[in-house]
Amino acid sequence: MKKLKIIYEDKNLLVIEKDPHVLTVSTPKERLRTLYHEASDYVKKQYPKNKIFIVHRLDKETSGLVVFAKSEDIKNKLQNNWEQTKRGYLAIVEGHPKNKKDTLKSYLIETKALDVFSTKDPKKGKLAITEYEVLQENKNFSLLKINIKTGRRNQIRVQLSDIKNPIIGDKKYHSKTNPLKRLGLHSNYLEFQLDNKTYQFTTKYPKDFTKIFPDML
């Protein structure tokens, strides 16, 4: 793995920008090549008894901001209030959304196989709310700024697919193109409260996004 891209670090937090193609945490098939493993090694080099705790995760093919806690107490504080965390993304989708700015609402059902799909029936699924705005367009694709109001599994991917604008590289949710050889989704903004202090973190656009939108700002 490449050198960790550390965005911020203090006695409580370690914030890293994850590259695409990297797991946040281990799976039965991959134990070592994970962001968690690299972050754990990093803090143990500072002091062998140091530990790192998972607060949230990103999909393997999604890049962007990941927060780790340096104690179980901090992890619990963050997770207990994670729904209040403001989370922003950049996404490249196929086609051009009918509305240049919109709020998507549906109820998501998750199967035992971890597939997710939408329903209009509130009794069957959990409410998911995603706001988006079109930043740029070209012949085949659109660049979206996204804010999520809920933290459901795959909610951005599912709801953009629902409006017939799936994220590029997202074959699972009906994308037909994969120009970046990865999911065109990047977590670029996080804001949360911890011990009466507000933390805000941002990253620039991923460099590979400029292959499709060369004049990204």
Give the DSSP letter string of 25-85: S--SS-SSSBHHHHHHHHHHHH-TT---EE-----TT-EEEEEEESSHHHHHHHHHTGGG-
pLDDT of residue 27: 67
**CATH architecture observed for domain 1-80:** 2-Layer Sandwich (3.30)
- CA distances to 26, 27, 35, 37, 106 from 31, in Å: 5, 6, 11, 8, 35
The pLDDT score that the predictor gives to residue 112 is 78
Tokens 């098939």, located at residue: 29
Q: How far is C-alpha 80 from the chain's CA centre? A: 19
What is the predicted pLDDT for the residue at 28? 63
Task: Report the C-alpha gap between 207 and 186 in whole angstroms.
Answer: 11
- Is the CB of residue 186 less than 8 Å from the CB of residue 90? yes
Examine the residue annotation and report whether 59 is marked as an active-site residue of this protein. Answer: yes
Q: How many CB atoms lie within 10 A of CB 47?
A: 8
Q: What is the pLDDT of residue 29?
A: 67
Q: What's the pLDDT at 1?
A: 52
CATH code given to domain 85-211 = 3.30.2350.10
pLDDT recorded at residue 20: 94
Which residues of the chain are under the pLDDT cut of 70?
1-2, 27-32, 217
Q: What is the pTM of this model?
A: 0.93
Q: What angle do CA 203, 206, 208 make, to 5 degrees?
A: 175
List helix spans (H) across 65-202: 72-80, 155-162
pLDDT at 2: 62
- The pLDDT value recorded for residue 174 is 94
Residues of each domain in the chain carrying CATH 3.30.2350.10:
1-80, 85-211
- Tell me how far apart the alpha carbons of residues 209 and 215 are, in angstroms, rounded to a whole number: 10
Instruction: Given the residues 10, 19, 41, 59, select the one marked as catalytic.
Output: 59
